[in-house]
């Protein structure tokens, strides 16, 4: 009270400037009456019509609430102001309302209508905060209203409101668990949301409401993985933890083979014992699987790989919780060889606040038991400073002990030696325990440790001595015969040591090994008999034990002593001791009544006792999910979700398939099987499209906004994708990856019509076959190399990313199934225009030197941003994926004219994406349009005629192209860095057409990223013959940097190099086949004069390129 009244004074003082009458308020005493009085004037202020007075009153009320004072009697006065115009007053009223609504339910209902109005407000912040408050008012009567509001908000066009809806779900659930089913529906719908903003919150709601409904995650799994890096940090933690659990139910144990190999291998020390144990378990439980695994190598599910890859960069997060979440994910899910990456990040966290250290060390301690090698290089990071808090010291000690092995034990022991001198006695005791554990675990140092501990027996601090005695006792038990001198030494100590535990330990030792010290032991018993009555209970019990043992081995000398001790014990105050005495007397002293047991007394007392195993308290803690509260407490906390064991056989992986675009499918498939089967791949995607959209049945406008955000998402997805690949050090250059991603997206968007056209044709049967095939794949892939898998997962993952937008499109497609296609055409141009405008905005341009290929993606980001901000929904056709035709930057060429092709017209363009099956090939995207009245079937190519060295990867056969439809396919051509044409025949089921593709020189290269310095260095090496310079006068329309960049990059597939001066534009690329550098510099001068410089090893290419660029710039 005194503190708070002082606070009142301060408060009064500070506010007295604006409110003189308050300054005189006699509230300083904190007496009830004055409180009451003051509430009166607060009520007055709240009733006034001045906002400033209301605000002042509310501030004072909130200050009361903050101090925990009861302000509930003001409820009626406050609730009146819920509709106040002043936003700060309103917010404070909300704060108050949420605090007291539960106590004053009836009055709280008065405010509900205001919130209902707020839910319809055009300002998204108001809508969101109305929902927030409404859902926070814990009044059961309004449950139906809340439910309605949540459902509505879940389809709001503002992602922020949808996020709020996700937050409201657990609130409602805790208020009324009966609503679960309805809430799960909302969760399902929000899980399908594609904005990063919503993802974290909805997974949180999922975890609180229905963590058991793992089936809801399937369809969203890949999306969540891809979004992860862009989700805010708190959401990342929740998602990663949930995905860890998910992965444990869906994938196979990646270490299953390893454990088989290890089995029978040499047994290392305790560190690996755990592993071994686990192996045994594995063996028993999964014998079947194991034998199967022996036959075929373990193949990681691409989705499993995707998760591991996409979480890895988050180890670099600044947020300790995120790092820990990733670390536990790797610990629980990654193959043994890959777990090591987390060690560095965890060690980094040890620099953080001491609370963070505490939690991290607990987890590290558990990890070190199972995977010791991981932290060995960081041994010194766990060295203890005298300024560490005790709890940190003890944990570090634990880790050091776990890390000890034959090689580092000497360093560790030396380190321990300095710790023993510490002032912190609890810590010293822990150190002695640790030494004991090292000694039991590492045979080589057992004697050294024992000697060290014996030396400690002469320490002046009694606690140290006592702890040493206890530890020595345990060590001696392992090999007592060698150490009778130590036992003698300890027997002498009994006169000095007062700590009961230590005394008891010594007595036990002497009793147990009385044969080794036959002379001393009766003497000790004599001394103890004298002091028996003054001893602690635990010591008394050991005296009785000692007496009994001596009686059995040396009854001549000790008979009387034993009798005496037993008599003393008989009248002890403690019933345990009395019981023990009675029991022992019956057992050892032969009487006529004594039963059969006394014969075995010697066996009972002097049985060989197994040496105690000194174990880490962290052993077996890893059955809790690491990083969880339950793990920390080593007890199950409320709401903890068990981490399931790996399944014996992986559940059907196809449940995670969303819409799979045909193009990606076939490329990855071809890679794997070299066109083993010619299946219509779309059948697969068709079959699965059904269940996907179950959640999406919203209004058109909502749909529109969603599709926008969808594209945003895939954009960011690609970003994360790239970063991952970089870290994986794939052979492919990241630029390529980036493009690949984009290309796939674009591709798949274009693919739409095909799928639509094919949809009717695809039969159930085919789908079944596909699935079957998929499942059986892992077993067949015996011969596959590891790298092959890697690639597979690669393509799978990028495909999954495109899946999302695909499914979105699919949904829409279904809706418009009845509609005819033509309307899409006009919109196409719309889409283009939109794109161009947006690229100027470049709000969140992630590439410092954007090449035109990059901008479309970014423009989606910004466009979605803009739409979200303005809260207007684009009509859903504008960005409907089907309409996004080849980017405006790509020039199409005609391959087959409509007339010569008898209705079939074919165009091709160079899509500038890396051709994934073969990096040396240029990807050519071919667009077939069937203008005839009849269907075209079996479109494929034949009879390829090429110059020597050139190669072609054919596009997969297109089985059916219905009349009036368009489809695209991609083929790869290796032009060998020449502009020679590739000739081939294009065949349909009826006709063959001779066609040829000739590349412009600019398409024979791919962009690379260079820094300015690298560029200059490379340029310096390509002088003389390799340099071609031309002067030119720029086209009037082409005198600014932007257009120059655009024109050059349109003419040639190059990327911009950052440059300090604005008078120069630089571009760099490499030829596709030979990877020769191509460097282009355009230096502008006064009045449109300019100089073009091309440096290229291949002079022919250089000359042709100069010609092409000149033309592009002067036209």
Partner 1 sequence: MIHSLFLINHTGDIFLEKHWKSVISRGVCDYFLEVKEKAVEPENVPPVLQTPHHYLISIYRDKLFFLSVIQTEVPPLFVIEFLHRVADTFQDYFGECSESIIKDNVVTVYELLEEMLDNGFPLATESNILKEMIKPPTILRSVVNTLTGSSNVGDKLPTGQLSNIPWRRAAVKYTNNEAYFDVIEEIDAILDKSGMTVFAEIQGVIEACTRLSGMPDLTLSFMNPRLLDDVSFHPCVRFKRWESERVLSFIPPDGNFTLMTYHVSSQNLVAIPVYVKQNISFFETGSCGRLDITIGPKQTMGKMVEGLMVTVHMPKAVLSVNLTASQGNYTYDLATKVLVWDIGKLNPQKPPNLRGTLSVQSGAPRPEENPALDIKLKIQQLAISGLKVNRLDMYGEKYKPFKGVKYMTKAGKFQVRT
Q: Which of residues 269-328 bind partner 1 (CB under 8 A)?
A: 313, 316-321, 323-325
Give the residue with the Cβ less far from partner 1, 124 or 562: 124
Q: Smallest distance, Å, CB 153 to partner 1?
A: 13
Q: CA 564 to CA 549: how far, in whole Å?
A: 15
Which of residues 348 and 815 has its CB atom nearest to partner 1 in the complex? 348
CB atoms within 10 A of CB 600: 11
Among 560, 597, 637, 677, binds partner 1 (CB under 8 A): 637
Choosing from 597, 843, 1089, 1100, the residue that interacts with partner 1 (CB under 8 A) is: 843
Query: Among 467, 722, 794, 801, which residue sits at the site for partner 1 (rule: CB under 8 A)?
Result: 722
CA 933, CA 544: separation in Å to the nearest integer? Answer: 107
Per CB under 8 A, which region of 24-32, 91-99, 522-530, 920-928 contacts partner 1? 91-99
* Of 639 and 949, CB closest to partner 1: 639
Kind and range of the H or E run holding 23: helix 20-23
* Nearer to partner 1 among residue 124 and residue 545 (C-beta): 124
> CA 351 to CA 378: how far, in whole Å?
13
The closest of 1083, 1077, 1085 to 1105, measured between CA atoms, is: 1077
Give the shortest CB-691-to-partner 1 separation in angstroms: 29
| Site string (117-156) toward partner 1, x via CB under 8 A | ------xxxx-x---x--xx-x------------------
Residues touching partner 1, count (CB under 8 A): 134
Q: Which of residues 384-413 bind partner 1 (CB under 8 A)?
A: 385-387, 389-391
According to the binding rule CB under 8 A, does residue 853 interact with partner 1? no
Closest to 971 in 3D by CA, of 994, 944, 953, 951? 953
H helices of 729-819, in order, are 734-759, 764-780, 786-815
As measured in angstroms, the least distance from the Cβ of 701 to partner 1 is: 18
Contact between 70 and partner 1 by CB under 8 A: the answer reads no
Where is 307: in which H helix or E strand? helix 302-311
Among 97, 192, 224, 359, binds partner 1 (CB under 8 A): 359
Q: Pick from 501, 865, 987, 1032: which binds partner 1 (CB under 8 A)?
A: 865
Q: In residues, how long is the chain?
A: 1115
Residues 1053-1112 that bind partner 1 (CB under 8 A): 1058, 1060
**Integer-rounded Cα radius of gyration of the chain:** 39
- Tell me which residues in 730-759 interact with partner 1 (CB under 8 A): 734
Is residue 564 part of the contact set for partner 1 (CB under 8 A)? no
Q: Specify whether the backbone of 968 is left (phi greater than 0), alpha (psi in -120 to 50) or beta.
A: beta
For the bound state, the minimum distance from the C-beta of residue 291 to partner 1, rounded and expressed in Å, comes to: 38
Residue 59 near partner 1 by CB under 8 A: yes
| Minimum gap (Å) between residue 313 Cβ and partner 1 | 5
Cα→Cα distances 820→686, 814, 823, 825, Å: 19, 12, 7, 11
Q: Which is nearer to partner 1, 427 or 984 (CB)?
A: 427
Segment lying near partner 1 (by CB under 8 A), choices 520-528, 533-541, 721-729, 908-916: 721-729
Q: Which run of H or E residues covers position 868? A: helix 854-870
Query: Restricting to residues 181-200, which ones interact with partner 1 according to CB under 8 A?
Result: 196-197
Report in angstroms the alpha-carbon separations of 692 from 188, 577, 655, 701, 845: 11, 72, 10, 20, 32
Site for partner 1 in 239-258 (CB under 8 A): 241
The residue within the footprint of partner 1, chosen from 26, 590, 639, 826 (CB under 8 A), is 639
Please tell me whether residue 458 binds partner 1 under the rule CB under 8 A: no
Please report how close the Cβ of residue 237 comes to partner 1 at its closest, in angstroms: 5
Residue 4 vs 268, nearer CB to partner 1: 4
What's the CA gap between 1026 and 1024, in Å, rounded?
Answer: 5
Mark out the alpha helices in 105-179 (DSSP H runs): 105-118, 124-136, 143-154, 159-175
Phi, psi (5° rounding) for residue 815?
Answer: -60, -40
CB of 355 to partner 1, least distance (A): 4
Per CB under 8 A, 946 contacts partner 1: no
Two tokens, residue 242: 């949930």
- Residue 968 CB, nearest approach to partner 1 (Å): 29
- Closer residue to partner 1 (CB): 359 or 404: 359
Q: Among residue numbers 887 through 906, which ones bind partner 1 (CB under 8 A)? A: none
Spatial distance between the Cα atoms of 43 and 60, rounded to a whole number of angstroms: 11
Contact indicator for 1022, 1030 with CB cutoff of 8 Å = no
Binds partner 1 by CB under 8 A, chosen from 635, 840, 1089, 1099: 635
Nearer to partner 1, 95 or 547 (CB): 95
Question: For partner 1, which residue of 40, 44, 281, 355 counts as binding (CB under 8 A)?
Answer: 355
Q: Which two tokens stand for residue 76?
A: 């009626």
Q: Which stretch binds partner 1 (CB under 8 A): 27-35, 50-58, 479-487, 586-594?
A: 50-58
Q: Where in 460-479 is the site for partner 1 (CB under 8 A)?
A: 460-461
Whether the Cβ atoms of residue 289 and residue 778 lie closer than 8 Å to each other: no
Give the binding range for partner 1 (CB under 8 A) out of 256-264, 347-355, 498-506, 914-922.
Answer: 347-355
457 near 466, Cβ under 8 Å? no
The two structure tokens encoding residue 348: 């980094």
- What secondary structure does DSSP assign to 412-439, as a single string? HHHHHHHHHT-S-HHHHHHHHHHHHHHH
**CB proximity list for 829: less than 8 A, separation 6 or greater:** none
Stretch 1005-1044: interaction string toward partner 1, x if CB under 8 A: ----x-x---------------------------------
When asked if residue 763 is in the footprint of partner 1 (CB under 8 A), the reply is no
In the structure encoding, which two tokens stand for residue 914, read together?
């890396």
- Selected binder of partner 1 within 86, 104, 978, 985 (CB under 8 A): 86
Task: Answer yes or no whether residue 869 interacts with partner 1 by CB under 8 A.
Answer: yes
Q: Which of residues 676-715 bind partner 1 (CB under 8 A)?
A: 712
92 counts as binding partner 1 under rule CB under 8 A = yes
3-state SS of 256-288 is HHHHHHHCCCCCCCHHHHHHHHHHHHHHHHCHH
Give CA–CA dist 1081/474, Å, rounded.
Answer: 79
What tokens were used for 569?
């014990």
Least Cβ distance, residue 789 to partner 1 (angstroms): 22
| Cα–Cα separations (whole angstroms), residue 82 to 76, 78, 153, 694, 856 | 11, 7, 21, 39, 46
Binding mask 580-619 for partner 1 (x = CB under 8 A): ----------------------------------------
Q: Does 234 bind partner 1 (CB under 8 A)?
A: yes
Residue (of 707, 750, 700) closest to 882 by Cα position: 750
CB closer to partner 1, 175 vs 971: 175
CA atoms within 13 A on the CB side of 801: 33
**From 619, 846, 889, 1110, residue interacting with partner 1 (rule: CB under 8 A):** 846
| 16 is a site residue for partner 1 (CB under 8 A) | no
Rounded Cα distance between 901 and 898, Å, is 5
Question: Smaller CB distance to partner 1: residue 10 or 894?
Answer: 10
Separation in Å, CA 324 to CA 240, 343, 434, 481, 627: 10, 11, 26, 48, 6
Q: How far is the CB of 200 from partner 1 (least distance, A)?
A: 8
The binder of partner 1 chosen from 23, 44, 66, 1029 (CB under 8 A): 66
The verdict on 628 binding partner 1 (CB under 8 A) reads yes
């Amino acid at each position: 009270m005194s503190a708070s009244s002082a606070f009142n004074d301060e408060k009064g003082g500070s506010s007295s400037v604006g409110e003189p009458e308050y300054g005189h308020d006699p509230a300083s005493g904190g007496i009830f009456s004055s409180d009451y009085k003051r509430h009166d004037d607060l009520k007055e202020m709240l009733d006034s019509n001045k906002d400033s007075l209301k605000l002042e009153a509310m501030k004072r009320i909130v200050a009361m609430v903050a101090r925990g004072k009861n302000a509930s009697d003001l409820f009626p006065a406050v609730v009146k102001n819920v509709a106040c115009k002043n936003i700060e007053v309103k917010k404070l009223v909300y704060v108050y309302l949420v605090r007291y609504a539960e106590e004053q339910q009836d009055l709280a209902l008065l405010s509900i209508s205001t919130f209902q109005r707020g839910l319809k407000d055009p300002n998204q912040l108001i809508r969101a905060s109305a929902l927030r408050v409404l859902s926070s008012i814990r009044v059961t009567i309004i449950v139906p209203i809340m439910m309605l509001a949540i459902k509505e908000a879940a389809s709001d066009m503002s992602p922020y409101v949808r996020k709020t809806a996700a937050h409201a779900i657990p609130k409602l659930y805790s208020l009324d668990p009966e609503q679960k089913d309805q809430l799960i529906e909302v969760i399902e719908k929000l899980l399908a949301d594609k904005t990063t903003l919503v993802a974290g919150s909805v997974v949180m709601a999922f975890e609180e409401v229905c963590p058991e409904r793992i089936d809801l995650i399937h369809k969203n799994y890949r999306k969540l993985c891809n979004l992860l890096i862009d989700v805010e940090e708190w959401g990342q933690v929740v998602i990663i933890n949930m995905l860890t659990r998910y992965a444990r139910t869906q994938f196979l144990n990646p270490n299953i083979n390893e454990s088989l190999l290890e089995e029978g291998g040499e047994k290392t020390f305790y560190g690996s014992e755990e592993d071994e144990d686990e192996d045994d378990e594995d063996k028993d439980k999964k014998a079947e699987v194991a034998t199967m695994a022996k036959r075929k190598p373990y193949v990681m599910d691409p989705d499993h790989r995707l998760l591991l890859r996409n979480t890895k960069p988050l180890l670099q997060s600044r947020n300790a919780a995120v790092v820990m979440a990733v670390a536990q994910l790797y610990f629980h899910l990654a193959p043994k060889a890959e777990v090591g990456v987390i060690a560095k990040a965890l060690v980094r966290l040890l620099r953080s606040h001491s609370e963070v250290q505490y939690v991290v060390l607990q987890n590290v301690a558990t990890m070190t038991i199972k995977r010791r090698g991981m932290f060995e290089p960081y041994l010194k990071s766990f060295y203890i400073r005298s300024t560490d808090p005790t709890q940190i010291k003890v944990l570090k000690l634990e880790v050091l002990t776990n890390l000890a092995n034959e090689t580092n034990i000497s360093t560790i022991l030396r380190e321990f030696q300095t710790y023993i001198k510490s002032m912190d006695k609890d810590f010293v005791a822990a150190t002695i325990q640790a030494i004991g554990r090292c000694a039991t675990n590492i045979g080589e140092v057992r004697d050294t440790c024992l000697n060290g501990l014996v030396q400690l027996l002469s320490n002046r601090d009694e606690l140290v001595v006592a702890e040493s005695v206890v530890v020595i006792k345990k060590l001696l038990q392992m090999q007592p015969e060698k150490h009778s001198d130590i036992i003698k030494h300890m027997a002498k100590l009994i006169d000095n040591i007062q700590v009961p535990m230590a005394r008891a330990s010594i007595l036990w030792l002497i009793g147990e090994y009385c044969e080794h010290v036959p002379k001393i032991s009766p003497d000790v018993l004599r001394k103890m008999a004298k002091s028996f009555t003054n001893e602690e209970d635990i010591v008394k019990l050991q005296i009785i034990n000692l007496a009994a043992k001596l009686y059995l081995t040396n009854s001549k000398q000790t008979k009387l002593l034993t009798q005496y001790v037993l008599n003393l014990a008989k009248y002890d105050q403690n019933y345990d001791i009395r019981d023990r005495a009675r029991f022992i007397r019956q057992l050892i002293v032969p009487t006529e009544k004594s039963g059969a047991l006394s014969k075995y007394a010697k066996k009972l007392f002097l049985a060989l006792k197994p040496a105690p195993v000194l174990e880490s308290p962290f052993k077996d803690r890893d059955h809790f999910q690491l990083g969880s509260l339950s793990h920390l407490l080593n007890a199950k906390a409320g709401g903890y979700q068990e981490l399931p064991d790996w399944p014996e056989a992986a559940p059907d992986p196809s449940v995670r398939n969303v819409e799979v675009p045909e193009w990606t499918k076939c490329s990855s498939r071809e890679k794997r099987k070299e066109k083993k089967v010619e299946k219509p791949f779309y059948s697969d995607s068709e079959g699965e499209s059904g269940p996907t959209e179950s959640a999406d049945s919203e209004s058109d406008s909502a749909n529109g906004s969603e599709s926008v955000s969808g594209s945003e998402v895939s954009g960011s997805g690609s970003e994360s994708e790239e970063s991952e690949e970089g870290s994986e050090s794939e052979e492919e250059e990241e630029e390529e990856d980036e493009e690949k991603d984009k290309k796939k997206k674009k591709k798949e968007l274009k693919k739409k019509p095909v799928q639509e056209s094919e949809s009717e044709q695809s039969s159930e049967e085919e789908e079944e076959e596909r699935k079957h095939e998929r499942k059986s794949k892992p077993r067949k892939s015996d011969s596959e190399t590891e790298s092959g898998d890697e690639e597979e997962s690669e393509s799978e993952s990028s495909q999954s990313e495109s899946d999302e937008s695909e499914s979105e499109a699919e949904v829409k497609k279904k809706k418009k199934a009845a509609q005819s296609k033509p309307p899409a055409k006009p919109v196409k141009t719309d889409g283009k225009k939109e794109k161009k405008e947006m690229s100027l905005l470049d709000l969140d341009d992630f590439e410092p030197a954007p090449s035109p290929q990059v901008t479309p993606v970014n423009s989606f980001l910004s466009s979605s941003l803009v739409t979200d901000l303005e809260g207007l929904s684009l009509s859903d056709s504008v960005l409907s994926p089907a309409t996004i035709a080849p980017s405006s930057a790509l020039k199409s060429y005609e391959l087959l004219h409509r007339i010569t092709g008898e209705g079939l017209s074919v165009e091709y363009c160079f899509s500038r994406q890396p051709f994934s099956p073969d990096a040396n090939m240029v990807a050519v995207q071919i667009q077939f349009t069937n203008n005839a009245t009849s269907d075209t079937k079996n479109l494929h190519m034949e009879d390829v005629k090429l110059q020597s060295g050139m190669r072609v990867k054919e596009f997969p056969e297109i089985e059916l192209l219905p009349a009036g439809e368009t489809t695209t396919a991609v083929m790869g051509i290796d032009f060998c860095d020449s502009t020679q044409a590739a000739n081939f025949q294009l065949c349909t089921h009826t006709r063959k057409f001779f066609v040829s593709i000739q590349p412009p020189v600019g398409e024979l290269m791919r962009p690379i990223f260079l820094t300015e310095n690298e560029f200059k260095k490379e340029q310096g090496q390509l002088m003389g013959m390799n340099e071609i310079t031309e002067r030119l006068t720029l086209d009037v329309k082409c005198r600014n940097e932007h257009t120059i960049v655009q024109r050059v990059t349109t003419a040639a597939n190059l990327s911009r190099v950052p440059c300090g001066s604005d008078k120069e534009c630089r571009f760099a690329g490499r030829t596709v086949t030979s990877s020769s550098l191509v460097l282009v510099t355009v230096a502008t001068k006064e009045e449109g004069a300019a100089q073009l410089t091309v440096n290229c090893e291949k002079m022919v290419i250089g000359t042709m390129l100069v010609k092409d660029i000149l033309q592009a710039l002067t036209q």
